[in-house]
Homo-oligomer: A and B are copies of this chain.
Amino acid sequence: MKFYTEYLWFNTEKRREYIRITDKIKAALAKSDISEGMILVSAMHISAGIFVNDFESGILEDIDNMLEELAPFGPDYKHHLTGEDNGDAHLKSILVHHQVIIPVTDKALDLGPWQEIFYAEFDGRRRKRVIIKIMGE
């Protein structure tokens, strides 16, 4: 049984960004020397997410628009009584989910033809971390 753990760091320029990280996951898998197993890709912050979808700028904008409609940036969150202004980012993280599992088959990410892995930053301009943990053989 083999394990491989790696941490990715992000520090985005904008408050919200969607960053394709598929190649970073592939690179981690290559270093792990694991040919069958599962890769956990999980945001380590509560105002970020991980998702799998299409690498197409329009749909990334649509995702952002939907999230902004369901959990808008704004002042009216109870969380802001603590002095924070990122209540919306926590809620967006809940809706998108903060992690995915990528199956590994025959030394490769076992993804469908259009599946790409994204880091979703909902409260950027600070250093944030993602864990990649691979378990298998």
B36 in contact with A90 (CB, 8 Å): no
> CA–CA, A77 to B66, complex, Å?
10
> CA–CA, A21 to B125, complex, Å?
30
Residues from chain B with a CB closer than 8 A to the CB of A20 are none
> CA–CA, A99 to B89, complex, Å?
20
State how many residues of chain A have any CB contact under 8 Å with chain B. Answer: 59
Chain A interface mostly: mixed
> CA–CA, A101 to B37, complex, Å?
13
B98 in contact with A52 (CB, 8 Å): yes
Residues on A close to B: CB < 8 A?
Answer: 1, 3, 5, 36-38, 40, 42-46, 51-54, 56-59, 61-63, 65-66, 70-71, 77-82, 87, 90-91, 93-101, 103, 105, 110-115, 129, 131, 133, 135-137
> Which of the residues B38, B53, B94, B97 comes within 8 Å of A135, measured between beta carbons?
B38
A114 in contact with B38 (CB, 8 Å): no
